[in-house]
Amino acid sequence: MKFFIDTADVDEIREWNSTGLIDGVTTNPSLILKSGRQIDEALAEICAIVDGPVSGEVTAIDTIGMISQGKTLAKIADNICIKLPLTMDGLKACKALSDEGFKTNVTLCFSANQALLAAKAGATYISPFIGRLDDINIDGMELIEEIRAIYDNYGFETQLLAASLRTANHVKDCAIAGADVATIPPSTLGKLVAHPLTDKGLAAFLADWEKTGQSIG
Protein backbone atom coordinates (compact mmCIF):
# COMPACT_ATOMS: atom_id res chain seq x y z
CA MET A 1 0.00 0.00 0.00
CA LYS A 2 1.26 3.46 -0.91
CA PHE A 3 1.43 6.16 1.77
CA PHE A 4 0.52 9.75 0.92
CA ILE A 5 0.97 12.43 3.56
CA ASP A 6 -2.09 14.64 4.08
CA THR A 7 -0.74 18.11 4.75
CA ALA A 8 0.43 21.32 3.09
CA ASP A 9 3.11 21.91 5.74
CA VAL A 10 6.34 21.88 3.75
CA ASP A 11 8.54 21.20 6.79
CA GLU A 12 6.51 18.11 7.73
CA ILE A 13 6.56 16.90 4.13
CA ARG A 14 10.32 17.35 3.87
CA GLU A 15 10.89 15.51 7.16
CA TRP A 16 8.70 12.54 6.25
CA ASN A 17 9.93 12.40 2.67
CA SER A 18 13.48 11.95 3.99
CA THR A 19 12.41 8.60 5.51
CA GLY A 20 11.71 7.15 2.07
CA LEU A 21 8.27 6.02 3.25
CA ILE A 22 6.15 8.65 1.50
CA ASP A 23 4.82 8.06 -2.02
CA GLY A 24 2.84 11.28 -2.52
CA VAL A 25 0.98 14.20 -0.94
CA THR A 26 -2.64 15.29 -0.69
CA THR A 27 -3.74 18.84 0.03
CA ASN A 28 -7.10 20.61 0.15
CA PRO A 29 -8.28 24.21 0.68
CA SER A 30 -8.42 23.73 4.46
CA LEU A 31 -4.82 22.51 4.57
CA ILE A 32 -3.69 25.40 2.35
CA LEU A 33 -5.40 27.81 4.74
CA LYS A 34 -3.65 26.17 7.70
CA SER A 35 -0.29 26.49 5.95
CA GLY A 36 -0.74 30.24 5.46
CA ARG A 37 0.78 29.95 1.99
CA GLN A 38 -0.33 30.90 -1.52
CA ILE A 39 -1.55 27.72 -3.18
CA ASP A 40 0.69 27.96 -6.25
CA GLU A 41 3.81 28.60 -4.15
CA ALA A 42 3.01 25.84 -1.68
CA LEU A 43 2.27 23.26 -4.37
CA ALA A 44 5.37 24.17 -6.36
CA GLU A 45 7.60 23.68 -3.32
CA ILE A 46 5.88 20.42 -2.36
CA CYS A 47 6.22 19.07 -5.91
CA ALA A 48 9.93 19.86 -5.84
CA ILE A 49 10.33 17.79 -2.65
CA VAL A 50 8.21 14.76 -3.52
CA ASP A 51 8.57 12.72 -6.69
CA GLY A 52 5.10 11.15 -6.43
CA PRO A 53 1.69 12.69 -7.12
CA VAL A 54 0.70 15.86 -5.28
CA SER A 55 -3.03 16.58 -5.14
CA GLY A 56 -4.05 20.21 -5.60
CA GLU A 57 -7.78 20.91 -5.30
CA VAL A 58 -9.94 23.15 -7.47
CA THR A 59 -12.37 25.55 -5.82
CA ALA A 60 -14.76 26.19 -8.72
CA ILE A 61 -18.13 24.45 -8.50
CA ASP A 62 -19.02 24.38 -12.22
CA THR A 63 -17.52 22.05 -14.82
CA ILE A 64 -15.93 24.72 -17.00
CA GLY A 65 -14.42 26.45 -13.99
CA MET A 66 -13.05 23.18 -12.62
CA ILE A 67 -11.45 22.30 -15.94
CA SER A 68 -9.87 25.75 -16.21
CA GLN A 69 -8.56 25.71 -12.63
CA GLY A 70 -7.39 22.12 -12.99
CA LYS A 71 -5.28 22.96 -16.03
CA THR A 72 -3.86 25.98 -14.20
CA LEU A 73 -2.84 23.79 -11.26
CA ALA A 74 -1.38 21.17 -13.60
CA LYS A 75 1.01 23.77 -15.02
CA ILE A 76 2.70 24.09 -11.61
CA ALA A 77 4.54 20.77 -11.97
CA ASP A 78 4.39 17.48 -13.83
CA ASN A 79 3.41 15.54 -10.70
CA ILE A 80 0.31 17.60 -9.88
CA CYS A 81 -2.85 15.53 -9.55
CA ILE A 82 -6.03 17.59 -10.01
CA LYS A 83 -8.42 17.13 -7.10
CA LEU A 84 -12.13 17.43 -7.92
CA PRO A 85 -15.28 17.18 -5.78
CA LEU A 86 -17.64 14.26 -6.26
CA THR A 87 -20.50 16.24 -7.77
CA MET A 88 -22.02 15.91 -11.22
CA ASP A 89 -19.97 18.89 -12.39
CA GLY A 90 -16.92 17.34 -10.80
CA LEU A 91 -17.49 14.06 -12.63
CA LYS A 92 -17.87 15.88 -15.95
CA ALA A 93 -14.65 17.75 -15.29
CA CYS A 94 -12.95 14.50 -14.29
CA LYS A 95 -13.98 12.85 -17.57
CA ALA A 96 -12.78 15.80 -19.63
CA LEU A 97 -9.45 16.15 -17.82
CA SER A 98 -8.80 12.41 -17.69
CA ASP A 99 -9.45 12.13 -21.42
CA GLU A 100 -6.75 14.77 -21.96
CA GLY A 101 -4.26 12.76 -19.91
CA PHE A 102 -4.34 14.68 -16.65
CA LYS A 103 -4.12 12.82 -13.33
CA THR A 104 -7.29 13.28 -11.25
CA ASN A 105 -8.31 12.63 -7.66
CA VAL A 106 -12.06 12.66 -7.02
CA THR A 107 -12.63 13.59 -3.40
CA LEU A 108 -15.41 13.70 -0.79
CA CYS A 109 -16.68 10.23 -1.67
CA PHE A 110 -19.14 8.77 0.80
CA SER A 111 -20.85 5.93 -1.09
CA ALA A 112 -19.95 3.00 -3.32
CA ASN A 113 -22.21 4.34 -6.07
CA GLN A 114 -20.26 7.60 -6.09
CA ALA A 115 -17.02 5.63 -6.38
CA LEU A 116 -18.44 3.63 -9.29
CA LEU A 117 -19.28 6.84 -11.14
CA ALA A 118 -15.82 8.27 -10.51
CA ALA A 119 -14.20 5.15 -11.95
CA LYS A 120 -16.40 5.35 -15.03
CA ALA A 121 -15.36 8.99 -15.40
CA GLY A 122 -11.73 7.86 -15.54
CA ALA A 123 -10.52 9.11 -12.17
CA THR A 124 -6.92 8.25 -11.35
CA TYR A 125 -7.81 8.13 -7.65
CA ILE A 126 -11.04 7.97 -5.65
CA SER A 127 -10.92 9.37 -2.10
CA PRO A 128 -13.54 7.88 0.25
CA PHE A 129 -13.61 9.59 3.66
CA ILE A 130 -13.56 7.04 6.46
CA GLY A 131 -13.39 9.23 9.57
CA ARG A 132 -16.25 11.49 8.56
CA LEU A 133 -18.52 8.46 8.11
CA ASP A 134 -17.45 7.14 11.51
CA ASP A 135 -18.43 10.54 12.94
CA ILE A 136 -22.08 9.92 11.99
CA ASN A 137 -22.10 6.30 13.21
CA ILE A 138 -21.56 4.71 9.79
CA ASP A 139 -18.71 2.22 9.49
CA GLY A 140 -16.34 3.92 7.07
CA MET A 141 -14.31 0.75 6.58
CA GLU A 142 -17.30 -0.99 5.01
CA LEU A 143 -17.16 1.61 2.25
CA ILE A 144 -13.52 0.72 1.52
CA GLU A 145 -14.45 -2.95 1.28
CA GLU A 146 -17.40 -2.22 -1.02
CA ILE A 147 -15.37 -0.05 -3.39
CA ARG A 148 -12.57 -2.63 -3.50
CA ALA A 149 -15.06 -5.35 -4.46
CA ILE A 150 -16.71 -3.24 -7.17
CA TYR A 151 -13.42 -2.13 -8.71
CA ASP A 152 -12.10 -5.70 -8.71
CA ASN A 153 -15.35 -7.01 -10.23
CA TYR A 154 -14.95 -4.83 -13.31
CA GLY A 155 -11.23 -4.27 -13.53
CA PHE A 156 -11.38 -0.51 -13.01
CA GLU A 157 -7.94 1.08 -12.99
CA THR A 158 -8.97 3.86 -10.57
CA GLN A 159 -6.87 3.56 -7.42
CA LEU A 160 -8.64 3.40 -4.08
CA LEU A 161 -7.18 6.18 -1.93
CA ALA A 162 -8.44 5.88 1.65
CA ALA A 163 -8.81 9.35 3.20
CA SER A 164 -9.84 10.90 6.50
CA LEU A 165 -7.73 8.37 8.40
CA ARG A 166 -7.50 9.29 12.05
CA THR A 167 -6.06 6.25 13.81
CA ALA A 168 -3.39 3.63 13.33
CA ASN A 169 -6.16 1.03 13.18
CA HIS A 170 -7.72 2.88 10.25
CA VAL A 171 -4.48 2.41 8.34
CA LYS A 172 -4.20 -1.27 9.26
CA ASP A 173 -7.81 -2.00 8.34
CA CYS A 174 -7.43 -0.21 5.00
CA ALA A 175 -4.37 -2.32 4.22
CA ILE A 176 -6.31 -5.48 5.04
CA ALA A 177 -9.23 -4.34 2.88
CA GLY A 178 -6.92 -3.76 -0.07
CA ALA A 179 -6.81 0.02 -0.41
CA ASP A 180 -4.19 1.05 -2.96
CA VAL A 181 -3.24 4.20 -1.08
CA ALA A 182 -3.73 5.63 2.39
CA THR A 183 -3.42 9.38 2.81
CA ILE A 184 -2.43 10.02 6.39
CA PRO A 185 -1.90 13.16 8.48
CA PRO A 186 1.58 13.46 10.01
CA SER A 187 0.26 12.94 13.55
CA THR A 188 -1.21 9.57 12.59
CA LEU A 189 1.85 8.54 10.59
CA GLY A 190 3.94 8.91 13.72
CA LYS A 191 1.66 6.53 15.61
CA LEU A 192 2.22 3.68 13.15
CA VAL A 193 5.73 3.01 14.43
CA ALA A 194 4.99 3.44 18.14
CA HIS A 195 4.45 0.43 20.43
CA PRO A 196 5.09 0.29 24.18
CA LEU A 197 6.51 -3.24 23.99
CA THR A 198 9.07 -2.11 21.42
CA ASP A 199 10.19 0.65 23.78
CA LYS A 200 10.26 -1.73 26.75
CA GLY A 201 12.20 -4.39 24.88
CA LEU A 202 14.77 -1.92 23.55
CA ALA A 203 15.32 -0.50 27.04
CA ALA A 204 15.95 -4.01 28.40
CA PHE A 205 18.39 -4.89 25.61
CA LEU A 206 20.34 -1.68 26.10
CA ALA A 207 20.50 -2.17 29.87
CA ASP A 208 21.88 -5.68 29.44
CA TRP A 209 24.34 -4.52 26.79
CA GLU A 210 25.70 -1.87 29.13
CA LYS A 211 26.39 -4.59 31.71
CA THR A 212 28.61 -6.46 29.24
CA GLY A 213 31.03 -3.54 29.10
CA GLN A 214 31.43 -4.07 25.37
CA SER A 215 31.30 -1.65 22.44
CA ILE A 216 30.72 -2.08 18.73
CA GLY A 217 33.12 -0.24 16.48
* Residues classed as catalytic: 83
What gap in Å lies between CA 184 and CA 193, rounded to an integer? 13
Cα dihedral sign, 141-143-145-151? negative
Contact 160, 128 (CB under 8 A): yes
Residue at 142: amino acid letter:
E
Longest dimension (CA), the chain: 72
Cα dihedral sign, 32-185-53-20? positive
Collect all residues with Cβ–Cβ distance below 8 Å to 215 and sequence separation of at least 6: none
Region of 213 (left: φ > 0; alpha: ψ -120 to 50; beta: rest) is left
What gap in Å lies between CA 192 and CA 66, rounded to an integer? 36
How crowded is residue 149: how many other Cβ atoms within 10 Å of its Cβ? 12
